[in-house]
């Protein structure tokens, strides 16, 4: 209908440029920055909750809340010897003196120490706590200066993530009595419009679960004046409907971090409406993949996992679905990342080879063409994903056909994103394959997704993202090197070894790296997509109208 109106020459009324409506395809399961890894949540919080340091659009490290990045050269990082003789790091953190939470309370090193304390607790359920678990203690020097003492040498010393407001959250923790109960009672979940939760240029002022989040300027923000009086992040879970809302003018833009329009939709729009929007395509670390449930006896056999990947014609999928813009992946590290390893095992489309591997693993075709084991049981596998995203559904449908061609019966079971990410993945409740994407920081140690201690269990309060239950001692050893080795050449050897083990063992079936596809209004200036998890919203105050 929107397209028909445009073709008929019906002009939509111009939107007042003191607000910006962003259309996204999913809604966060919760707003706590460390519980449940969701792109849409991190993207939204980028406007309102800033990390101490981050990486910019050029993938260079930068200060956000800090006054200066700690380095060995400037003396803010020093190697210290622990009582047991082991080497560790002492890292001085200096915060900018004028930062405030949106209730007027200063951002201080008390917030740093509190966040480190909660994040260090294995019961916290923090999904990504690699920095905080490595911090043994924090010495507060003054309100803006502290020294973090790491238990080991740690390469994440200058990647200091988001702080929690100690004056808001400490009473919650004390009342709860422990970190496990704290995450159930946190103010981010109970009252996400509380001003004191936010220290960015914007704060969340309206939160309608499943519908939209409204942000307005933080009155205590000391930096550049935000360009909008109101930003609305509106959820339209069906991407076809999201596109219609964009064309009708009900939303102004869609981001490209996997939460807006799909790549094929943006390509079509660019052909049909070349002059109406700015179309921004950005190489990224976004990694499309299929997690395998290794607790499933069928998938526990590496020959089966290799055969499944060989049965997928990934190149043709990329060519037909997105004009060849998906790059085939062999592991989780994007080719643009400095730690990317060349020469990894590559499993191209080979249905005959896949059938051979299945037979070697004890699966032979029945009279109906479906593989059966020695007991006569069919090879049936579940494929989970999210609803409402047309390109995801197209991929699943093609994958289902191609796997059936080699004798594998696939049952597709999709869920709303909040259920898929907040429950199914978090509790490892999928039984076969799970289709989704990761977006990484460049050269970021992969413990969150590969570490044995990051397998979600009741013992760690379902923290971590090793949803496959992959336990590889060699990878665990290499992970420690990538986390502790400050010599780039020695670290690269470990990075290469991990990618090689991943590509050989295939706990995850690597599919593609995708570029980000952003659709933004012509009048929006200062928009700089990054291609990684420090999203463009971390500089949302630079977004201005003409």
CATH number at residue 473: 3.10.105.10
- Joined tokens for residue 196: 């004191």
The answer to whether residues 137 and 280 belong to one domain is no
Give pLDDT, residue 121: 87
Instruction: Compute the chain's Rg from CA coordinates.
Output: 24
The answer to whether residues 118 and 213 belong to one domain is no
Give pLDDT, residue 17: 77
In a domain, 375, yes or no: yes
pLDDT greater than 80 at residue 129? no
Whole-structure pTM value: 0.83
Give pLDDT, residue 128: 66
C-alpha dist (Å) from residue 278 to 252, 370, 452, 458, 521 = 11, 48, 43, 46, 6
CA-based max dimension of the chain? 77
The answer to whether residues 377 and 469 belong to one domain is yes
Using DSSP's 3-state secondary structure scheme, residue 89 falls into strand
pLDDT greater than 90 at residue 417? no
Final residue before a domain boundary, out of 155, 170, 185: 170
Q: Name the residue with higher pLDDT: 497 or 84.
A: 497
Give pLDDT, residue 270: 96
The answer to whether residues 492 and 392 belong to one domain is yes
The answer to whether residues 428 and 446 belong to one domain is yes
Q: What is the pLDDT of residues 169-194, one digit of tens each?
A: 999 999 998 888 888 899 999 999 99
pLDDT greater than 70 at residue 230? yes
- Joined tokens for residue 261: 């329009």
pLDDT greater than 70 at residue 120? yes
Give DSSP secondary structure letters for 405-416: TTT-EEEEEEE-
In a domain, 176, yes or no: no
Q: What is the pLDDT of residues 296-308, one digit of tens each?
A: 999 999 999 999 9
The answer to whether residues 119 and 25 belong to one domain is no
The answer to whether residues 310 and 422 belong to one domain is yes
CA angle 87, 499, 69 (to 5 degrees): 45
Domain count, the chain: 3
Residues 535 and 489: their CA atoms lie apart, in Å, by 29
CB distance 384 to 414 below 8 Å: yes
* Cβ-proximal residues to 271 (8 Å cutoff; 6+ apart), any chain: none
- Joined tokens for residue 186: 């946190």
Q: What is the pLDDT of residues 480-506, one digit of tens each?
A: 999 999 999 999 999 999 999 999 999
CATH number, domain with residue 224: 3.40.190.10
The answer to whether residues 340 and 489 belong to one domain is yes
Can you tell me the mean pLDDT for 185-212? 97
In a domain, 279, yes or no: yes
Q: Average per-residue pLDDT in the chain?
A: 93
Q: What HEC string does 10-65 produce?
A: CCCCCCCCCEEEEEECCCCCCCCCCCCCCHHHHHHHHHHCCECEEECCCCCEEECC
Q: How confident is the model at residue 4 (pLDDT cuts 50, 70, 90)?
A: very low
In a domain, 2, yes or no: no
The answer to whether residues 457 and 342 belong to one domain is yes
C-alpha dist (Å) from residue 50 to 53, 197, 199, 284, 402 = 8, 11, 6, 21, 44
The answer to whether residues 99 and 64 belong to one domain is yes
Residues 165 and 167: their CA atoms lie apart, in Å, by 6
pLDDT greater than 80 at residue 226? yes
C-alpha dist (Å) from residue 178 to 4, 111, 164, 459 = 57, 18, 16, 14
Backbone phi, psi, residue 126, to 5°: -60, 130
In a domain, 194, yes or no: no
Q: 41-53 b/e with 16+ CB inside 10 Å = b?
A: bbbbbbbbbbbbb
Residues 287 and 499: their CA atoms lie apart, in Å, by 14
Give pLDDT, residue 3: 43
Where would I find the beta strands (DSSP E) of 28-69?
53-55, 61-63
Domain that holds residue 63: 53-170
Give pLDDT, residue 10: 42
The candidate with the shortest Cα–Cα distance to 365, out of 379, 386, 380, is 379
The answer to whether residues 316 and 440 belong to one domain is yes
**Residue 236: Cβ within 10 Å count:** 24
pLDDT greater than 80 at residue 199? yes
CB distance 414 to 383 below 8 Å: no
The candidate with the shortest Cα–Cα distance to 268, out of 293, 289, 304, 239, is 239
CB distance 67 to 53 below 8 Å: no
For residue 103, what is the DSSP state?
Answer: T
Can you tell me the mean pLDDT for 435-448? 92
Q: What percent of the chain has pLDDT over 90?
A: 86
Q: How confident is the model at residue 14 (pLDDT cuts 50, 70, 90)?
A: very low
Total number of residues shown for the chain: 546
In a domain, 183, yes or no: no
The candidate with the shortest Cα–Cα distance to 213, out of 249, 246, 188, 248, is 188
Give pLDDT, residue 1: 35
The residues that bridge with 89 in the sheet, in sequence order, are 79
Q: What percent of the chain has pLDDT over 70?
A: 97
CB distance 155 to 97 below 8 Å: no
In a domain, 187, yes or no: no
The answer to whether residues 267 and 351 belong to one domain is no
* Cβ-proximal residues to 190 (8 Å cutoff; 6+ apart), any chain: none
Q: What is the pLDDT of residues 307-365, one digit of tens each?
A: 999 999 999 999 999 999 999 999 999 999 999 999 999 999 999 999 999 999 999 99
**Helix, strand, coil percentages for the chain (3-state, nearest 5):** 35, 20, 45
């Amino acid at each position: 209908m929107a397209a028909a109106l445009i073709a008929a020459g019906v002009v939509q009324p111009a939107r007042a440029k003191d607000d910006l409506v962003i259309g996204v395809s999913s809604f966060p399961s919760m707003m706590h920055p460390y519980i449940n890894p969701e792109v849409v949540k991190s993207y939204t919080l980028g406007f309102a909750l800033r990390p101490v340091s981050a990486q910019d659009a050029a993938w260079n490290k930068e200060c956000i809340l800090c006054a200066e990045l700690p380095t060995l050269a400037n003396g803010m990082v020093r190697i210290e010897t622990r009582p047991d003789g082991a080497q560790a790091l002492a890292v001085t953190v200096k915060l900018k003196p004028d930062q405030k939470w949106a209730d007027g309370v200063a951002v201080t090193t008390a917030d740093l120490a509190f966040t480190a304390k909660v994040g260090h607790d294995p019961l916290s359920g923090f999904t990504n706590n690699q920095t905080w678990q490595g911090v043994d203690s924090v010495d507060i020097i003054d309100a803006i200066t502290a020294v973090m003492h790491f238990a080991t040498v740690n390469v994440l010393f200058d990647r200091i993530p988001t702080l929690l407001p100690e004056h808001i959250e400490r009473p919650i923790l004390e009342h709860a009595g422990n970190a496990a109960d704290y995450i159930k009672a946190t103010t981010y979940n109970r009252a996400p419009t509380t001003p004191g939760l936010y220290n960015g240029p914007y704060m969340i002022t309206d939160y309608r679960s499943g519908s939209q989040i409204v942000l307005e300027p933080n009155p205590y923000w000391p930096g550049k004046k935000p360009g909008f009086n109101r930003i609305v992040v509106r959820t339209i879970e069906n991407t076809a409907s999201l596109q219609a809302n964009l064309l009708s003018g009900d939303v102004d833009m869609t981001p490209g971090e996997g939460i807006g329009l799909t790549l094929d939709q943006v390509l079509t729009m660019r052909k049909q409406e070349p002059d109406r929007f700015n179309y921004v395509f950005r190489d990224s670390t976004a990694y499309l993949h299929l997690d395998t449930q290794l607790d499933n006896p069928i998938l526990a056999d590496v020959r089966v996992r290799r055969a499944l990947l060989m049965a997928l014609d990934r190149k043709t999928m990329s060519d037909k679905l997105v004009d060849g813009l998906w790059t085939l992946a062999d592991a989780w590290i994007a080719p643009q990342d400095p730690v990317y390893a060349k020469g990894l095992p590559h499993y191209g489309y080979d249905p005959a080879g896949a059938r051979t591997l299945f037979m070697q693993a004890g699966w032979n075709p029945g009279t109906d063409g479906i593989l059966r084991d020695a007991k006569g049981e069919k090879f049936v596998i579940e494929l989970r994903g999210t609803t409402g995203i047309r390109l995801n559904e197209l991929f699943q449908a093609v994958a289902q056909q191609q796997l059936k061609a080699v004798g594998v019966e696939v049952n597709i079971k999709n869920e709303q994103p909040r259920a898929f990410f907040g429950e199914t993945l978090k509790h490892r409740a999928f039984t076969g394959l799970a289709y989704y994407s990761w977006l990484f920081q460049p050269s970021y140690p992969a413990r969150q997704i590969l570490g044995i201690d990051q397998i979600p269990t009741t013992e760690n309060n379902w923290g971590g993202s090793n949803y496959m239950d992959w336990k590889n001692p060699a990878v665990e050893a290499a992970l420690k090197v990538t986390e502790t080795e400050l010599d780039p050449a020695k670290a690269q050897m470990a990075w290469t070894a991990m990618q090689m083990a991943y590509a050989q063992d295939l706990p995850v079936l690597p599919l593609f790296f995708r570029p980000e596809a952003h659709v933004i209004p012509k009048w929006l200036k200062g928009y700089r997509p990054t291609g990684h998890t420090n999203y463009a919203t971390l500089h949302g105050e630079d977004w201005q109208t003409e």
